[in-house]
Structure 1
Amino acid sequence: MNKIKKLIYELHSFIILWLTQSFSTLGSSMTNFALIIWSYQQQGSALKTSMLSICSYAPYVIISIFAGALSDKWNKKATMLVCDSFAAVCTVSVLILLLFGKLQIWHLYCLNALNGLMNSIQQPSADVTISLLTPKKHYQKASGMRAFSNSLVNVMTPVISTALLALSNIQTIIAFDLFTFVIAFLSLLFFVKIPKVISTENAKAESVLESAKSGIRYLRHNRGILDLILFLAAINFTASVFEAALPAMVLSKSSGSESALGIVNAVSGLAMVGGSILVSLIPSPKSRVRIICNSLLLAMSTENFFLAFGKSVPVWCIGAFLGWIAIPFMNANMDVLFRNHIPLNMQGRVYSARNTLQFFTIPIGYFLGGFLVDKVFEPFMASQSAASIFVTLFGQGKGAGAAFLFLWLGFIGLITCLIFRKDPHIWRLEK
């Protein structure tokens, strides 16, 4: 009990921020989940639905490299409060348009782009804040707790969203989202004290462009960190193509539905919850790089193949569990490596450069995933006869093309992991 009390005392500010921000993330994730279903039902197009994520990530990637420089100069709490408030205004706009029956898909594209812009500024501030609130000896525990909450959000989002859509409507979900924002906003404003980062005079005098260059320069001179980021960029490309294709397959196949999509997403979340609990409890590993490589190899070599050949929800769920159980181990160990290697007064700039490099493949992957499903794989499968081997393997009708695409993603992800596993620069981070 004394150890637990001491831990809570040392992490009390982090715990308040972690709990309230996780609650707010749940509300935002539920709104996003509901809007994806709304979009696919309205448009019936994987490409148009994936544009929601493209519009979120494109400005995030473009602006991120400069946002970290601003983050290092600005007050962390004020930055997070302003960005959260702006996101709430966008959510209110969606609610008003829905209530008056005026919501169009292009409205969501514009609002997602604005949200992506603000997220690019908020994210480096939030990352640095975690380092400021957490003693170095608790980095792995804090990373595990964050992975646990993210996993719990992944479990609860589809379950609660699907239930509320069945019992009520999308407006109820958005109202809940706004309630979670108020809780997180007030908690950060009144109950979390964020220490200031001590900056050198040179850092204060740097222009935004010079600060952005210093983040890139740091990565250029630290090849292990850079190559690890590029590894994640390659994985994010495959994962975003996957995310664009998943709703198109699960919502379209005869064995799929909104509930099926919710179940598959919930199982993914449950797997991450289990992994997060384990990573929070186990001692620090001898080789963080090995954990990262093995976790991604397991994820890439399982779920895509189960989704490609599976024809029922239970089989998809097995794939989802295997694909996500090790991801918290990857996230936690990656997070600790970054926080241990990057100086605190450089983290905002370096994290922003990381965000641009690590996430620039996501909008490309979402666009390509939607395009390939709508224009290549679905037409190809539609042209196959009932006796075709492709129909035998991937099924017939809408959704079969997306299943065929998952087979390709499985091989691409597997090859990516094997290539980066041999990178000597990444392994030097162990020293």
Structure 2
Amino acid sequence: MSFSGSLITVLHPMIATSLYAIGGMNLVIAVDLCTFLVAFVALLLFVEIPPVKVSEERQSETLIESAKAGLKCLNENRMVLMLILFLSGVNLVASAFDAVLPAFILPRENGGESILGIVTSFAGIVMLAGSMLASVLPPPKDRIRLIVATMLFSLTTDNFLMSLTRSPVAWCIAQILGYLPVPLMSTSLDVIVRSTIPTEMQGRVYSCRNTLQFFTIPIGFFFGGWMVDVICEPFMEQIPGESIMASMFGMGKGSGAGLMIFILGILGMVICLIFGRILKKYKYHESL
């Protein structure tokens, strides 16, 4: 799944740019709708869901009762719950970074749409490599520690290197360092969830997990855009050219976005350190 997701991340900027150059936004939207219809028809007609024996009690279970059962199971498995809450914080920072990145690269003299597409594609290429790396590496001794360590490395190196440099090459290196550990983290998380949660509860738990882990993504997009437009860019406009802030993040358009990316690096580091202390008391034992 992470492999296919990485492949999409690599290809979609290039395909979208080509379609936009050929037929404008109308062609992009038309192709988007067509691909949705293909996926919808394929799932509707060609994907068979095998029958599963379900008790009469579960058959009569309502949506609310199912959600309650999933949340109860998560509450009983505090290690999994803490990991999910940790990754919801990671997703907040990551989605804010995604929202700010165009505002950082597009206005730069050595930036623009093509550079943004290249930098974005590097994230997908590296995640593709990371997915293959995760499939050949031996299991880690401590999966919980790996999850925290990879996210600490990812959120700090990507955000700090991106915000403090002016070169597209450095931005691509930041993406490499930031996104390479992500598949290693997601693989360990899936192993922990699948081996810890009972099979009959995994559907409900995964639904609750997706809600808790990913609800911060739209919040992050709003937070990142609002901070750049309302706080960071106006602040950097008032900074004198000889100040430390100007030497760190530059001057003019894009400097406020650089400041915001740096702040996100600090926020990501704080989240990782706090949850690192919380998760220290939990131990995951690999089942043979």
The two structures have a TM-score, normalised by structure 2, of 0.92
Q: Which runs of 5+ in 2 are unaligned?
A: none
2:17 aligned partner:
162
SS in 2 for 1:415: helix
SS in 2 for 1:168: helix
329, 342, 352: which is aligned to 2:197?
A: 342
**Whole-Å Cα distance in 1 between the matches of residues 280 and 75 of structure 2?**
12
**Whole-Å Cα distance in 1 between the matches of residues 103 and 52 of structure 2?**
46
Is structure 2 residue 264 aligned with structure 1 residue 409?
Answer: yes
> What is the CA distance between 1:429 and its match in structure 2?
2.8
Deviates more, 1:376-385 or 1:328-337: 328-337
Is structure 2 residue 69 aligned with structure 1 residue 219?
Answer: no
1:353 aligned partner:
208
**Whole-Å Cα distance in 1 between the matches of residues 229 and 43 of structure 2?**
43
> What is the CA distance between 1:306 and its match in structure 2?
1.3
The 5 A counterparts of 1:19-168 are 146-168=1-23
Q: Which runs of 5+ in 1 are unaligned?
A: 1-145
**Whole-Å Cα distance in 1 between the matches of residues 218 and 88 of structure 2?**
11
> What is the CA distance between 1:426 and its match in structure 2?
6.9
112, 122, 125: which is aligned to 1:267?
A: 122
394, 416, 421: which is aligned to 2:249?
A: 394
The 5 A counterparts of 1:228-307 are 228-307=83-162
> What is the CA distance between 1:192 and its match in structure 2?
2.7
1:328-383 C-alpha deviation (Å, 9 max, x unpaired): 11112211221222223322321222222222322222222111100100000011
8 Å CA contact 2:67–2:204 kept in 1: the answer is yes
**Whole-Å Cα distance in 2 between the matches of residues 417 and 204 of structure 1?**
40
> What is the CA distance between 1:305 and its match in structure 2?
0.7
8 Å CA contact 1:211–1:349 kept in 2: the answer is yes
8 Å CA contact 1:199–1:345 kept in 2: the answer is no
1:205-231 C-alpha deviation (Å, 9 max, x unpaired): 223222221111111111001000111
1:320 aligned partner:
175
Moved over 6 A (4+): none
8 Å CA contact 2:142–2:284 kept in 1: the answer is no
The two structures have a TM-score, normalised by structure 1, of 0.63
Residues 374 and 424 from structure 1, CA distance in 2 versus in 1: closer, same or farther, beyond 3 angstroms? closer
2:30 aligned partner:
175
Letter in 2 for 1:342: I
1:293-325 C-alpha deviation (Å, 9 max, x unpaired): 222122112110111111121111110111001
371, 379, 387: which is aligned to 2:234?
A: 379
**Whole-Å Cα distance in 1 between the matches of residues 93 and 195 of structure 2?**
28
221, 225, 234: which is aligned to 1:370?
A: 225
